[in-house]
A and B are shown apart, each in its own frame.
Chain A
């Protein structure tokens, strides 16, 4: 078998449920060349652009020859066409194991069957929904890479090539300043934006303010990327109130840039919450304080990051109760969801080498630690405590307790059987992007913040206090977003940021400068769920 045939099959082995376009396959098989041609195509120099397109055409032709050969051998199938007539290719098997013997090696591709779980009935009733069910077995929701583990941006980019194929929702790059202060930062960010868009994975660029050495350089880099920032990218600053006040000039400039380019900026309040918080498309992710302590003590220094999110299920609370669901039934539903997570976890453990082995590093201990702090997420949509007849916060707190007990029981049982596993479920909010067809639609009057005073009304005070409590229930994995009206001066935006950092125990909040257009859904105003 030709080495290129093997490389193509290898890409399918890593992601057996996926359909690839030729372009996507070029990126998988020729990562270096793909990166170069992208760079060339996006320059200003016409000659270089032509060179880039020529390389792209050459690689497409070369690869198509081998793909078509595999189609003829009935190993691959053409499943459709995307964009400007680009064919989509998929493995020619529904489920099971495909063993391809080449002269030098054996490639075993395991395509999982759809797994039955205890929530299948509820799913048919549209009471619960899996996030990305097609990759339910072979992908993680979210991974965080700790940039201090990388020498430079190029090394991080290399690691990211694997990580992008392993996740279906979000990637966080913690302490990104560490690699951006070195060489190749612009090119790295450029490629990262392309990859985030191509893979449609949410990427959070997390800057730890106190460890930024070259502040001016970071501002300049952000200025370069903000005008064309894809919606998949979120910028996060980890800062405490004192630092914000002390470095007012820096943050004024930063907020001014986000306002100018109409982007959103997330603040993580390090005085309230130590661990990183970031967003995927399905919802936010966070470490519990306990997991973060474990991470700092055992994972950091061994592994270059960790899996944070494994699997996600979402429940539309409003729909559940509107359709006559009872509190007892809701608890039963969440209990079944916990069982379903465990069933799938077992399958994922069984096929660990096939699905996730490619993320392993040369150090087996580091590999173990990489997977040590992940959690499954049970997310909720439309849980409006003001309108609901149910005591939502109390309900969520009790569900958290019950689900936690189940996790502990499972860990104890397996540990006593000589299988020391980690099994955790976190509760969190869900974003609309999780599955817009599934979630019920809720509409709110458009509102945006223009002054700090609007945050000091009695109504807002109550709202923020409830959000503080929700953050606790969700162990930090919540999102609070304020739209900033157009034309609000930077000084006022600074006051808003300072007020939110100082007055409330909010682990994080986002200031969104994208303005208001028409009537907004809950998802775009002060978004919590």
Chain B
């Protein structure tokens, strides 16, 4: 399934309604009930609106949602020393402590070959992540950059995506990275797409979804129960 929308909020709302309507109910490893669809593609045509989802989530007083600053830092800062199990920034800019996939590969490659389809960034590290008892395995696994119609388009493959709590942060982080590369290439950012292998919503969040996105969001939705 592919959802396309001009803005982040529209794309997000459509995706949530789709997961609720079409999702299969199952209980995840943490014992929580989920609604899940497989292979959901969501495209935001104007990634400049990417922060809107994060801002909406931060308005809710029930929880603390990561700030735009912290999310940006995680994505762009390779040296964000901390206690996180992994950092997207480190995987992107200093994979294994040495490989800068953006400055040493993606940007020079796109500068040299604007039509290339090889400008990809790999975040998963099988040697570290593929442990049977690993609790935290990265969601964003692969990001592809391509120049389409003189704009820098980006597509991310997400292993599993919590569409209510996680996706607004993911799209924001990806937009920041896309913007960073586009700026160096002197191009405007193009469409931003996420391809979620597994897109889910936790049943416990249904009320919260209405709080954040408004009562109408679930109106007329057959939750497939």
Interface residues of A (CB under 8 A from B): 339, 342-343, 346, 349-350, 352-353, 357, 360, 368, 371-372, 406, 409-410, 412-422
Contact = CB atoms under 8 A, between A and B. Distances in A.
- For the complex of A and B, list the 7 residue pairs with the smallest distance between their C-beta atoms, beginning with the closest: A416-B166, A417-B169, A416-B162, A420-B136, A371-B83, A420-B85, A353-B81
A350 B81 contact: no
Nearest to B200: A416
Contact of B74 (A352, A415, A416, A419): A419
Contacts of B140: 418
Nearest to B208: A409
Given A418-B88, A418-B140, A342 B74 contact: no
Interface string B33-59: 000000000000000000000000000
Given A343-B64, A410-B64, A416-B162, A421 B70 contact: no
8 contacts: A342-B64, A350-B69, A350-B73, A353-B81, A412-B165, A416-B161, A418-B75, A420-B136
A368 B82 CA distance: 7
B83 A422 contact: yes
A241 B116 CA distance: 72
A413 B165 contact: yes
Interface in B53-96: 62-67, 69-71, 73-75, 79, 81-86, 88
B81 A360 contact: yes
A346 B71 CA distance: 12
B116 to A, nearest CB: 26
Interface residues of B, number: 32
A409 B173 CA distance: 21
Interface SS of chain B: helix, strand, loop or mixed?
loop
Contacts of A371: 83
Contacts of A419: 66, 70-71, 74, 84, 169
B114 interface: no
B83 A372 contact: yes
Contacts of B71: 417-419
Contacts of B64: 339, 342-343, 346, 410, 413
B131 to A, nearest CB: 11
A349 B170 contact: no
Contacts of A352: 81-83
Contacts of B63: 406, 409-410, 413
B138 A418 contact: yes
B82 to A, nearest CB: 5
Contacts of A343: 64
B83 A416 contact: no
A349 B82 contact: yes
A342 B70 CA distance: 14
Contacts of A372: 83
A420 B86 contact: yes
Interface in B163-202: 165-166, 169-170, 173
A410 to B, nearest CB: 6
